[in-house]
Chains A and B, each alone.
Chain A
Amino acid sequence: MGRVYVSLRDRPAGDAGDTPGPGAVRRRVASTVVLLGLVSMFTDVSSEMVAAVLPLYLTAELGLGYVAYGFLDGAYQGVSALVRMLGGYASDRTGAAKWIAVLGYGVSAVSRLAMLPAHAFLAITAVVTADRLGKGLRTAPRDAMIAAASRREDLGRAFGVHRALDTVGAALGPLVAFGLLAAVPGGYDSVFVVSFAVAAIGVALLVLFVPARRALPAARLRARGILRELTGRRLRRPVVACALLGAVTVGDGFLYLSLQQRTDLDATFFPLLYVGTNTVYLLLAVPLGHLADRLGRARVLVGGHVALLAAYLVAGGPVPGVAAVVATLVLLGGFYAATDGVLPALVSPLVADEARASGIAAAQTAVVVARFASSVAFGALWAVSGPGTGLVVFAALLGVVLPAAAWLLRSAEAGR
């Protein structure tokens, strides 16, 4: 199943770039951005291959119980938030964003091979954790590189192109993995080996072709300087807005579950809901990124949350049916396309170039932590009042928060 993470996928910052053709209305996206998109695509194919078969492998092949899987899932999801900050900081301090990213991608790639001999529960936990650490480490430096390679006025489209390629990878991974399992039943080792090979191609692309723009030592900030940038008032407003919006964002898994329960949808369609959302996301990522560059990123970001609010109302509303399912998927895909890449495009010009990766990481972490809190709160509400009421309550909360967040975002973007 292609996945849309509850956490923001990545996060960036930046301005001037190496894009040719000034004056053209539709400039080509920098080759570095496309290359980084391809790196992400290969890596996502690789990681989603493993993620798709992991529950099956653990329970059916290794005979670890359900409870063990649940525990592992927690480790899988929870590790990367702190490392994300570390990755951003290390990138700014050393001025070597590319090599921090290479380390992150490399660790994840090698972890695929380590799956082969790992059969005990603890060993697998360690391998999965290493993969997540790699993901946390690489995200901020990678997004900082996207921002650095793009013109300030094209950032939305640049991130849109990157996220679209990334999503292609997420959609392909499970297909490749289950295709392999169909050809070689029980061939989990084949899945891990192919997953490693795909990841290795991604790392090779990054190492060989993405230019390293190493900042001169004089241009690097010390720890205190980075901290000053992070706590500066220009970054503060969007970060607060992100946290506010994240705190009323319901994970898409809950929306799907609500749809499924309320429409009596055949449970086997469940994985297809992820595919539907990802397809819409994939199709809209570039156009909405472009729109954000022209209309204003804050505006598109707010519009994305309006789509999310509508998705709550449709999924939790009184008339669920096939039309409601389709509408929810389109709205949710639109929400991701209008926010996931647009937010970094909005945030990156607000931070000094020398603290870009740290600034990106800070915004990402705010959203991830807020969304985690939100999913806990929503889960509790769901238990008390059921999915329909829960979604309507969160729609109301989002309606209250949205104007405040919109003001924060727009004033930050306008530099007031």
Chain B
Amino acid sequence: MTADPARSRRVRAFVFLAVMLLAVGGSVAYVARAYGDRVRASSGPDRADTAADLAAVTARPHVVFRSTAPGPAEGHVAAVPVDAAGGPRAVTPAVCDRVYATRAHAVCLAAEATLNARTYRVRVLDPGWTSGHDLFRTPGLSSRTRLSPSGALVATTAFVYGDSYNSPGKFSTRTTITPVGDTRAGTDLENYTLTIDGRVTRNPDRNFWGVTFADDETFYATAATGRHTYLVRGSVRARTLTALRRDVECPSLSPDGTRIAFKKHGTLADGEWRLAVYDLRTTRETLTAETRSVDDQAEWLDDTHLLYGLRTGPVKSGTTDIWTVDASGGGTPRIFIPQGWSPSVIR
């Protein structure tokens, strides 16, 4: 306890210097290595066959998706023919985190890092994939987007965590439906009139996400309030939402307009869902043969098959693939497009 104070001070200064050196040196080394890995991965050869011809692929029925194969094309929008989906892909110049395409055009959500937060740019891309125009920017995490079949309306969902900053345990979503020609985000679904079990609810914890369009007037989406989620049918003109059924998230309407593919939470653990199909005519619900947890808005390949993104393997070295499974509940899931994400089918 009675050590020489000057010596003790020197020792402490030396120890602190060592900690500083370790901390700064270790950080720099770690980040430099991560940066190097990143550069190598994106400059090496593409890990997927990108030899397909874009014009030839898009002339036939095809699937547009985000390519997640490591290499220079990672993050680019790509396309494969429906009848040769596992084969070579045609890569477009567009880079998107989430993409959805119709014959008319595509909508592209691209992350933009600002100084202290993350925002997304919502862009409409022309069929050539090189030109387009910005619709608007949205804060938070943008994760769902759909175009109406005519291409006239864009729906986007952003997960905004700033909103619920001071309300512990809350999160909020901002889902808007915007005409493609506009440059401002359209009406937030929170401004629509929501009716559940015949009663209008104005609960402040209302949240909406995952729009799927029937046409330019009718759409389906997820509404959440209290501890429940609902499938709602919406009217663009009347600005109304009517709850049809409980425990439905991220609906996706079949091409024939009769069924809804969705994520069912049921009694699973937090953050887990099963992929299921709800028949609007018979109100019957069918679980698909996919038993792994699916957190994606499914897309219909045709009237009998679903497409959905799934992450497999460990977070760092794992991949995201686009899988397919029968909508009827039978069959077995299989990979439809390896190393892809965010599929949309152009028939």
Decide yes or no: A252 and B166 within 8 Å by CB, A71-B270, A189-B316 being known contacts. yes
A379 & B167 in contact (Cβ 8 Å cutoff): yes
Provide the residues of chain A in CB contact with B140, threshold 8 Å.
Answer: 55
Provide the residues of chain B in CB contact with A401, threshold 8 Å.
Answer: none
Provide the residues of chain B in CB contact with A55, threshold 8 Å.
Answer: 140-141, 159, 161
Provide the residues of chain B in CB contact with A181, threshold 8 Å.
Answer: 113
Q: Does A208 contact B (CB under 8 A)?
A: yes
A65 & B38 in contact (Cβ 8 Å cutoff): no
Q: Does A219 contact B (CB under 8 A)?
A: no
What are 12 inter-chain pairs, A to B, with CB distance below 8 A? A1-B162, A59-B143, A68-B270, A77-B168, A174-B116, A184-B38, A204-B19, A251-B165, A270-B117, A271-B114, A372-B168, A383-B204
Chain B 160-187 against A: per-residue CB contact (8 Å), 1 yes, 0 no? Answer: 1111111111110110000000000100
Q: From DSSP, what is the main secondary structure of chain A's interface residues?
A: helix
Decide yes or no: A77 and B162 within 8 Å by CB, A180-B31, A271-B139 being known contacts. no
Give the contact stretch, choosing among A194-202, A225-233, A286-294, A328-336: A194-202
Within 8 A of A (CB), among B279-326: 295, 311, 314-316
Q: Does B44 contact A (CB under 8 A)?
A: no
Q: Which 8 A-B pairs have the closest CB atoms?
A: A74-B169, A251-B166, A383-B204, A68-B271, A271-B117, A253-B165, A253-B166, A197-B23
Decide yes or no: A56 and B141 within 8 Å by CB, A193-B27, A208-B16 being known contacts. yes
A190 & B116 in contact (Cβ 8 Å cutoff): no
Q: Does B60 contact A (CB under 8 A)?
A: no
Distance in angstroms between the alpha carbons of A253 and B202 in the assembled complex: 20
Q: With A186-B38, A253-B166, A271-B117 given, name 16 new contacts (CB 8 A).
A: A1-B117, A1-B162, A61-B315, A62-B315, A73-B161, A78-B169, A121-B270, A201-B20, A251-B166, A267-B185, A268-B114, A271-B116, A274-B162, A375-B166, A375-B167, A383-B203
B111 nearest CB neighbor, chain A only: A60
B141 & A73 in contact (Cβ 8 Å cutoff): no
Decide yes or no: A275 and B31 within 8 Å by CB, A189-B316, A253-B164 being known contacts. no
Shortest B123–chain A CB gap in Å is 15
Within 8 A of A (CB), among B136-171: 137-141, 143, 159-171
Distance in angstroms between the alpha carbons of A382 and B141 in the assembled complex: 25
Interface residues of B (CB under 8 A from A): 12, 15-16, 19-20, 22-24, 26-27, 30-31, 34-35, 38, 97, 113-119, 137-141, 143, 159-171, 173-174, 185, 202-204, 209, 224, 265, 269-271, 273, 295, 311, 314-316
Provide the residues of chain A in CB contact with B15, threshold 8 Å.
Answer: 204, 208
Provide the residues of chain B in CB contact with A71, threshold 8 Å.
Answer: 169, 270
Distance in angstroms between the alpha carbons of A55 and B202 in the assembled complex: 27
Q: Does A126 contact B (CB under 8 A)?
A: no
Distance in angstroms between the alpha carbons of A380 and B167 in the assembled complex: 12
Provide the residues of chain A in CB contact with B117, threshold 8 Å.
Answer: 1, 52, 174, 178, 268, 270-271
A66 & B163 in contact (Cβ 8 Å cutoff): no
Q: Which of B118, B166, B316 has the most chain A CB atoms closer than 10 A to its own CB? A: B166
Decide yes or no: A197 and B27 within 8 Å by CB, A56-B118, A271-B139, A383-B204 being known contacts. yes
Within 8 A of B (CB), among A237-252: 251-252
Interface residues of A (CB under 8 A from B): 1-3, 6, 52, 55-56, 59-71, 73-74, 76-78, 119, 121, 174-175, 178, 180-187, 189-190, 193-194, 197-198, 200-201, 204-205, 208-209, 251-254, 256-257, 266-268, 270-272, 274-275, 372, 375, 379-380, 382-383
Provide the residues of chain A in CB contact with B167, threshold 8 Å.
Answer: 251, 253, 375, 379
Q: Which of B116, B159, B160, B224 has the most chain A CB atoms closer than 10 A to its own CB? A: B116
Distance in angstroms between the alpha carbons of A2 and B185 in the assembled complex: 26
Distance in angstroms between the alpha carbons of A258 and B233 in the assembled complex: 29
With beta carbons under 8 angstroms apart, the residue of A178, A197, A208, A375 that contacts B24 is: A197
Decide yes or no: A270 and B139 within 8 Å by CB, A71-B270, A187-B38 being known contacts. yes
A60 & B141 in contact (Cβ 8 Å cutoff): yes
Provide the residues of chain B in CB contact with A372, threshold 8 Å.
Answer: 168
Distance in angstroms between the alpha carbons of A190 and B28 in the assembled complex: 10
B163 & A193 in contact (Cβ 8 Å cutoff): no
Provide the residues of chain A in CB contact with B203, threshold 8 Å.
Answer: 383
Distance in angstroms between the alpha carbons of A267 and B165 in the assembled complex: 15
Provide the residues of chain A in CB contact with B173, threshold 8 Å.
Answer: 66
B166 nearest CB neighbor, chain A only: A251
Distance in angstroms between the alpha carbons of A256 and B172 in the assembled complex: 15
Provide the residues of chain B in CB contact with A76, threshold 8 Å.
Answer: 168
B271 & A121 in contact (Cβ 8 Å cutoff): yes
Distance in angstroms between the alpha carbons of A91 and B168 in the assembled complex: 28
Provide the residues of chain A in CB contact with B97, threshold 8 Å.
Answer: 60
With beta carbons under 8 angstroms apart, the residue of A59, A252, A256 that contacts B159 is: A59
Decide yes or no: A73 and B170 within 8 Å by CB, A56-B141, A67-B270, A178-B113 being known contacts. yes
B311 nearest CB neighbor, chain A only: A63
Distance in angstroms between the alpha carbons of A88 and B38 in the assembled complex: 46
Decide yes or no: A65 and B162 within 8 Å by CB, A271-B117, A383-B202 being known contacts. no
A268 & B119 in contact (Cβ 8 Å cutoff): yes
Shortest A371–chain B CB gap in Å is 9
A187 & B270 in contact (Cβ 8 Å cutoff): no
B23 & A198 in contact (Cβ 8 Å cutoff): yes
With beta carbons under 8 angstroms apart, the residue of B12, B138, B161 that contacts A268 is: B138
Shortest B96–chain A CB gap in Å is 14
B169 & A70 in contact (Cβ 8 Å cutoff): yes
Decide yes or no: A119 and B16 within 8 Å by CB, A174-B116, A193-B30 being known contacts. no
Shortest B129–chain A CB gap in Å is 21
Decide yes or no: A73 and B169 within 8 Å by CB, A178-B118, A181-B113, A184-B31 being known contacts. yes
B141 & A194 in contact (Cβ 8 Å cutoff): no
Distance in angstroms between the alpha carbons of A380 and B141 in the assembled complex: 26
Provide the residues of chain A in CB contact with B166, threshold 8 Å.
Answer: 6, 251-254, 375
Shortest B40–chain A CB gap in Å is 12
A209 & B16 in contact (Cβ 8 Å cutoff): yes
A382 & B16 in contact (Cβ 8 Å cutoff): no
Provide the residues of chain A in CB contact with B35, threshold 8 Å.
Answer: 183-184, 187
With beta carbons under 8 angstroms apart, the residue of A69, A74, A204, A271 that contacts B16 is: A204
Provide the residues of chain A in CB contact with B12, threshold 8 Å.
Answer: 208-209
B170 & A119 in contact (Cβ 8 Å cutoff): no
Distance in angstroms between the alpha carbons of A257 and B161 in the assembled complex: 12
Provide the residues of chain B in CB contact with A183, threshold 8 Å.
Answer: 31, 35
Provide the residues of chain B in CB contact with A187, threshold 8 Å.
Answer: 31, 34-35, 38
Distance in angstroms between the alpha carbons of A392 and B346 in the assembled complex: 53
Provide the residues of chain A in CB contact with B273, threshold 8 Å.
Answer: 65
A257 nearest CB neighbor, chain B only: B163
